[in-house]
């Protein structure tokens, strides 16, 4: 179990498996055979250790007991000591859509097969060992006892160099992981694998490449709000567009969003006193108007800096920033003109890393202090001029005690370090409102060589214009006008009596807005890099269920439509962008169109669904019910999409017998590119429907309950007949009469209604001439084509 120098754990750069894909991923020159991808919600802290001689490492197997069942009164003996820890069972509170037992089984299997664990002699089990020493990883919901030290997905007791202690423990907080990554089966499984792997590596002696100063940073897997918003923004985008190239590079996107706050981790080389964070502001004048490069204290503005990440150092007006290329990037120094847009085709990892930096800057526009250029200084973690809203969403401790937190005195107490998770978008969020570059700014010009950055600038303007309505600590908002908190000096080291309600009110608007901005940002970026005819998605022609043709694949068109004997049909289509830009397919953005040709008439123009007449499930609020979903491998969907990801839709259409219909569908990808399918035509011809004459005895012997029972039975039968059948009504007493001539039943129910009205009008009187009634009915049936099916039903008392 000797460890080599600087050995990265296999999952440290990645975290969420995209189900059904096994392509190797490339990160910083390392090829990984496991197709994981989400990575790090901590500061890219690679786990490393110096090489150890074999004399320092026992060759015995290290057993790790994974406790998913919860525990009480657990001790933590790490950099701090905590007694009486309670961990709730992992199985408690899981939604019905989650198979918790399956997740546990997959975690154990994956970890026991992981090369880094196999090579170090580590074995995982969910059964408590009886004899051998073992470490325990508790997996379940946290009971808040670690909150005062920060926000963590997991924490180990120690970095055990040489693995000298075989009985140390770790905690993995599944509730926090689910809140940040979402609770889908695959995502939750692989995020848990990643964090468990991370904490066990600490127990084996691996430490972070660098720490950020907290008491538990050496042994914890932490997250911050910028990483969380970037991840939530991806989830918002993925909910609509499914798999995309961002799926494979999400760790770089999240990493860039995190690194933008760190000195030296940017291609400009900004660090130290010349810190990148001073370029995360955007000022305005007294009328709340803005200039593109008006940042804090003469430094560059947030939007202009973000634009440079897209262009490779060129700002909104095309002026090159000579600092670009002075610092590190991924994997080397930045080069002029080589920004996110131009890097995408050959190096998507760098492209999304730069986009993550831009995402951080856009997230800052959802903080009023940043859009008022209201600086909130910190020195060594001490707030010299703390902004209450900034610190609220950043997870800072709020305390009213001068002894608890004298640097930041608040009007109330709250120590929740990851309170930002309270403002996530709801599960049922409408993702169809996510904007394309053209939606953000009309007249957008696609193309990656000279990217059109105007929509990106407009995106910053839109969010800054919302945020600057609110007060910050030392600046008045356009609407608030100083109404929040109270007055204080610039350096009085407190939150000026801002209430929790005041902070919550802002957070419930601006945090969800920031998450939505991430979706708009990704769509904008794809519009830049995934453009032209080569970027359009591939769309399968509309398939039609219930065709009665012997070979539905034969050519067809308006003059030779396929045939269906069912007036209600299911239309199916699929689309993929996997080979055309990888920006995903909008599963709720399929736009079906149809045209109609009545019997003996001409074709109408193409039209969109507008009501339920032809499209069951259509509503004015939600539009057409597409019955759509994403797929990971389209081999079972269409021969066109084997091995590709995409989306499929299957709406229901209701036509009329004798009519012909044409169908086509427009698909849209994450970039906003649209592609129309080929046209598909069908004629709905009724099967030889049944032709029925109901013969009702209306003689005087049927009076009273008998005639009423006969009429009720006759109406029930009429109502049960199908569209395309024919119904007629004959009644008799001393003579016969045709109460309702034989008519074909239509989809609108009008024929059944007319037949039932005729039945209701029948009264009893006279003698019984049953032969006359049968003859009258037979005369109507004889008028049909010889091959038509026919039936006569006689209702009589004998």
The 8-class DSSP code of residue 314 comes to B
Predicted pLDDT at 46: 31
| 126-163: burial string, b at 16+ Cβ within 10 Å, e else | eeeeeeeebbbbbbbbbeebbbebbbbbbbbbbbbbbb
DSSP string, 645-682: -EEEE--EEE--TT-EEEEEEEEEBTT--EEEPPPEEE
Look at the pTM and tell me if it is higher than 0.75.
no
Average pLDDT over residues 747-776: 94
Query: For residue 373, which of 360, 362, 364, 383 has the smallest C-alpha distance?
Result: 364
**What count of other Cβ atoms lies within 10 Å of the Cβ of residue 745?**
21
Tell me the per-residue pLDDT of 712-729, one tens digit each, with 9 for 90 and over. Answer: 999 999 999 988 789 999
Tell me the per-residue pLDDT of 364-405, one tens digit each, with 9 for 90 and over. Answer: 999 999 999 998 766 544 556 789 999 999 988 898 887 776
Q: HSE (CB half, 13 Å, CA atoms) of 585?
A: 32
Sequence-ordered strand ranges (E) for 151-260: 152-156, 169-173, 207-208, 220-222
Structural domains in the chain, CATH included, are 25-223 (no CATH), 230-529 (1.10.575.10), 536-684 (2.60.40), 691-795 (3.40.50.410)
- Is residue 716 within 8 A of residue 753, CB to CB? The reply is no
Average pLDDT over residues 552-576: 84
Does the pLDDT of residue 623 top 80, yes or no? yes
> Sorting pLDDT into bands at 50, 70 and 90, what band is 21?
very low
Tell me the per-residue pLDDT of 304-336, one tens digit each, with 9 for 90 and over. Answer: 999 999 999 999 999 999 999 988 877 777 788
- Higher-pLDDT residue of 427 and 636 is 427
φ, ψ (nearest 5 deg) of residue 604: -80, 170
Predicted pLDDT at 1: 31
> Sorting pLDDT into bands at 50, 70 and 90, what band is 491?
low
> Sorting pLDDT into bands at 50, 70 and 90, what band is 11?
very low
CA torsion, points 309, 311, 312, 315, in degrees to nearest 10? -80
Query: For residue 205, which of 75, 66, 52, 59 has the smallest C-alpha distance?
Result: 52
Does the pLDDT of residue 161 top 80, yes or no? no
> Any alpha helices (H) in 91-153, and if so which ranges?
100-113, 115-119
d(CA 724, CA 10): 65
- Higher-pLDDT residue of 97 and 525 is 525
- Is residue 511 within 8 A of residue 651, CB to CB? The reply is no
């Amino acid at each position: 179990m000797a460890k080599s120098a600087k050995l990265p754990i296999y999952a440290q750069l990645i975290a969420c498996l995209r189900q059904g894909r096994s392509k190797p991923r490339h990160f910083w020159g390392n090829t990984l055979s496991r197709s994981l991808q989400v990575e790090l919600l901590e500061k890219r802290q690679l786990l490393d250790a110096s090489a150890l001689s074999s004399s320092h490492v026992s060759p015995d197997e290290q057993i790790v007991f994974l406790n998913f069942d919860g525990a009480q009164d657990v001790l933590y003996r790490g950099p701090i000591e905590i007694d009486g820890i309670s961990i709730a069972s992992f199985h408690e509170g899981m939604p019905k859509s989650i198979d918790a037992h399956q997740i546990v089984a997959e975690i154990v299997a994956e970890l026991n097969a992981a090369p880094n664990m196999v090579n170090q002699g580590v074995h995982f089990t969910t059964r408590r060992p009886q004899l051998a020493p073992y470490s325990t990883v508790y997996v379940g919901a946290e009971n808040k006892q670690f909150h005062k030290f920060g926000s963590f997905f997991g924490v180990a007791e120690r970095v055990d160099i040489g693995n000298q202690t075989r009985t140390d423990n770790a905690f993995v907080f599944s509730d926090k992981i689910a809140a940040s990554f979402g609770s889908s089966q695959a995502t939750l499984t692989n995020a848990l694998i990643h964090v468990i792997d991370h904490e066990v590596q600490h127990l084996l002696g691996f430490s972070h490449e660098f720490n950020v100063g907290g008491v538990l940073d050496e042994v914890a897997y932490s997250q911050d709000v910028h990483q969380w918003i970037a991840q939530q923004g991806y989830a918002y985008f993925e909910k609509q567009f499914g798999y995309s190239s961002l799926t494979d590079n999400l760790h770089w996107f999240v990493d860039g969003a995190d690194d933008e706050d760190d000195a030296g981790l940017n291609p400009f080389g900004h660090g130290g006193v010349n810190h990148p964070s001073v370029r995360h502001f955007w000022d305005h004048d007294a009328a709340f108007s803005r200039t593109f490069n008006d940042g804090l204290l003469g430094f560059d503005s947030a939007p202009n800096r973000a634009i440079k990440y897209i262009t490779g150092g060129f700002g909104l007006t095309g002026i090159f920033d000579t600092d670009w290329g002075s610092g590190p990037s991924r994997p080397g120094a930045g080069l002029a003109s080589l920004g996110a847009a131009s890097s995408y085709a050959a190096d998507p990892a760098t492209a999304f890393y730069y986009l993550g930096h831009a995402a951080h800057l856009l997230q800052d526009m959802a903080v009023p202090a940043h859009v008022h250029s209201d600086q909130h200084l910190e020195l060594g973690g001490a707030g010299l001029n703390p902004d209450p809203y900034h610190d609220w969403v950043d997870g800072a401790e709020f305390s009213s005690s001068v002894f608890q937190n004298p640097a930041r005195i608040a009007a109330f107490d709250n120590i929740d370090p990851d309170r930002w998770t309270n403002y996530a978008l709801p599960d049922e969020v409408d993702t169809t409102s996510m904007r394309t570059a053209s939606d953000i700014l009309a007249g957008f010009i696609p193309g990656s060589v000279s990217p059109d950055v105007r929509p990106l600038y407009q995106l910053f303007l839109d969010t800054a214009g919302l945020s600057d309505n609110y007060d910050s600590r030392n600046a008045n908002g356009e609407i608030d006008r100083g109404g929040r908190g109270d007055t204080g000096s610039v350096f009085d080291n407190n939150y000026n009596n801002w209430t929790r309600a005041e902070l919550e009110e802002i957070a419930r608007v601006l945090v969800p807005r920031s998450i939505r901005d991430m979706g708009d940002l990704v769509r904008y970026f794809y519009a830049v890099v995934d453009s032209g005819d080569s970027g359009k998605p591939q769309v399968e022609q509309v398939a039609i269920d219930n065709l009665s043709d012997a070979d539905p694949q034969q050519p067809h068109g308006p003059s030779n439509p396929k045939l269906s004997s069912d007036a209600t049909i299911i239309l199916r289509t699929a689309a993929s962008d996997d080979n055309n830009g990888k920006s995903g397919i909008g599963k709720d953005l399929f736009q079906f169109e149809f045209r109609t040709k009545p019997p003996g008439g001409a074709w109408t123009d193409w039209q969109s669904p507008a009501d339920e007449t032809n499209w069951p499930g259509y509503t004015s609020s939600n539009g057409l019910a597409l019955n759509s979903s994403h797929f990971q491998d389209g081999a079972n969907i269409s021969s066109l999409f084997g091995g590709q990801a995409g989306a499929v839709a299957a709406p229901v259409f209701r036509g009329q017998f004798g009519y012909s219909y044409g169908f086509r569908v427009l698909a849209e990808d994450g970039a906003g590119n649209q592609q129309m399918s080929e046209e598909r035509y069908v004629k709905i011809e009724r099967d030889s429907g049944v032709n029925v004459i109901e013969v009702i005895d209306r003689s005087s012997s049927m009076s009273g309950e008998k005639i009423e029972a006969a009429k009720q039975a006759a109406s029930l039968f009429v109502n049960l007949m199908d569209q395309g059948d024919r119904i007629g009504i004959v009644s008799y007493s001393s003579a016969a009469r045709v109460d309702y001539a034989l008519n074909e039943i239509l989809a609108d129910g009008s024929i059944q209604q007319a037949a039932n009205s005729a039945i209701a009008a029948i009264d009893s009187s006279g003698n019984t001439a049953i032969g006359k009634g049968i003859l009258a009915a037979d005369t109507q049936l004889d008028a049909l084509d010889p091959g038509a099916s026919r039936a006569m039903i006689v209702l009589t008392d004998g």
